[in-house]
Amino acid sequence: MIRDQARYHQRLCSYHIYIDAFAGAGKHISKKTGAFVLGSPMNALLVEPPFREYHFKVLPKAKYKDYRRALCILDPYGLHLDWKVIYKVGQMKSIDIFLNFPVADINRNVLWRN
Ligand SMILES: C[S@@+](CC[C@H](N)C(=O)[O-])C[C@H]1O[C@@H](n2cnc3c(N)ncnc32)[C@H](O)[C@@H]1O
C-alpha cells in the first residue's frame, strides 16, 4: 500500500519542466562591478537535480494528464506580458508561475490614467 502510494507520488511529480518566457541573453554585466552576472536561464541550467526539459521563450505542453509539472518564469521588462498566457497556465493546473510583476511600469503608464 505505502509502496503503491510512493510510486503514485513519484509518477505525479517525476517530470519537471522549466519555462522561461522572457529568458534574455543568459548573462548580464553588472553596472556596479562590470563582472558577468548569470541571468535566470543560466541559473536554471545549474539547478540540481536538473529539470527534465528547458524551454526558453516557449510554453510547452506540460499537461496535467501526462503527469508533467512545470515552473514558468515570467520576467518581462514592462507591460508587454500577454495576460492570456497567465489565464492559459491557470487552466492547465500543472504549472507554477514566478511573475516579476512590472510595478514601476504599471505606476508610470497605467495607474495614473485610471
Ligand atoms: C527583464 S529581461 C529578463 C531577464 C532574465 N529573466 C534574466 O534573469 O536574465 C526581459 C527579456 O525579455 C525579452 N523579451 C522581450 N519581449 C519578448 C517576447 N515577446 N518574447 C520573448 N522574450 C522577450 C527581452 O529581450 C529581455 O531579454
| HSE toward the beta carbon, residue 62, CA cutoff 13 A | 31
Residue 113 pLDDT = 59
Q: How far is the CA of 112 from the centre of ligand 1 (A)?
A: 25
Cell output for 102: 512590472
Distance of CA 1 to the CA centre of its chain: 35
Cell output for 109: 503608464
Other beta carbons within 10 Å of 89: 21
| Residues 38, 22: Cα–Cα separation, whole Å | 14
Pocket of ligand 1 (CB under 6 A): 22-24, 28, 39-40, 57, 75-77, 80
Rounded to the nearest 10 degrees, how much is the dihedral formed by the CA atoms of 49, 98, 8, 61? Answer: -100
Consecutive 10-residue averages of pLDDT for the chain (114 residues): 68 84 89 95 94 82 87 86 87 92 83 66
With the most atoms of ligand 1 within 8 angstroms of its CB, the residue from 59, 77, 85, 101 to mutate is 77
Residue 10 pLDDT = 65
103 neighbors 110 (Cβ within 8 angstroms): no
List, for residues 1-31, the tens digit of each pLDDT value.
Answer: 667 776 766 666 778 999 998 888 899 999 9
With the most atoms of ligand 1 within 8 angstroms of its CB, the residue from 19, 20, 22, 27 to mutate is 22
